[in-house]
Amino acid sequence: MAHPSPEDSRAHWSRLCQGFQPSTLDFYAQVEAAVAMRSIPDVEIERIEYSEGGALSDKRQYLRVRRNRDAFDICGAPFGDGFFFSWWLAELRTDLPIALVIIVLLIYLACADWFANRVGTFEGPLLFIVLIPIALFLMSRLGNPDADDSIMSLPLVGSLYRKFFRPLTYYRIDTSEMFQQAVQMAVHEVIDRMTTAQGVRALTEMERKPVMREFFRK
């Protein structure tokens, strides 16, 4: 999966707390422990690196907490006489190389032509369109669950697959919200504990509110 960019984020939160400078690695370790205590199903935690600028710039380490396609990229870093906390919430997507997309389109045309010659000029391509998403769905169930993301990245067929096999539902939205709130509470729990230990003012309710963007993108 490709790393999301700030433009892909659904929500963002940040706060500079002045007067203390804890260890970034200790902050990440405490967040990992706080997330683990909540027993969030299907959660994955890893350390990732983002470039600070272009391709040759230095890299900064973030803590990623992921569940399915929802991912929090959490940052902790000293700045001046304080410490900066932030997180970005984004939906991870799989981007196929252009060359592979072209190959897939050529395969579509060849298959549609084969069906047209053997079933009918109109019935053949229609049957092809109906059968391919079903075949891909069966393949995804027998293989790696992450194959869903690759399938939905395919041109033409991916949109049909999403519509019939991965539609937006109340359940998907609710479980995504549960994950988001659990991770947010874990992060703020750690920040509260670290700031209280150093006698730093606790965050207000207004300071805890993230900047929200569109919930799900098609």
- The full set of domain ranges for the chain reads 6-93+186-212, 98-165
The count of other CB atoms within 10 Å of the CB of residue 2 is 9
Q: What is the pTM of this model?
A: 0.76
For the domain with range 6-93+186-212, which CATH number is right: 3.40.1350, 3.60.90, 3.30.420, 2.40.160?
Answer: 3.60.90
Report how far residue 40's alpha carbon sits from residue 191's, in angstroms, rounded to the nearest whole number.
Answer: 20
By C-alpha distance, which of 111, 113, 100, 115 is closest to 155?
100
- Beta-ladder partners of 43: 67
DSSP 69-122: TEEEEEEEEEETTEEEEEEEEEE-BPPPPHHHHHHHHHHHHHHHHHHHHHT-TT
Half-sphere exposure of residue 120: CA atoms within 13 angstroms, side-chain side: 4
Report how far residue 44's alpha carbon sits from residue 46's, in angstroms, rounded to the nearest whole number.
Answer: 7
| Tens of pLDDT, residue by residue, the chain (218 residues) | 556 666 668 899 999 998 888 999 999 999 999 999 999 999 999 999 887 766 666 788 999 999 988 999 999 999 999 999 999 998 887 777 788 778 878 887 888 888 888 888 888 878 887 787 777 777 666 655 567 777 777 777 777 777 777 788 899 889 999 999 999 999 999 999 999 888 888 888 888 898 876 544 44
Give 59's DSSP letter.
Answer: E
By C-alpha distance, which of 121, 118, 165, 11 is closest to 74?
11
- CB distance 49 to 62 below 8 Å: yes
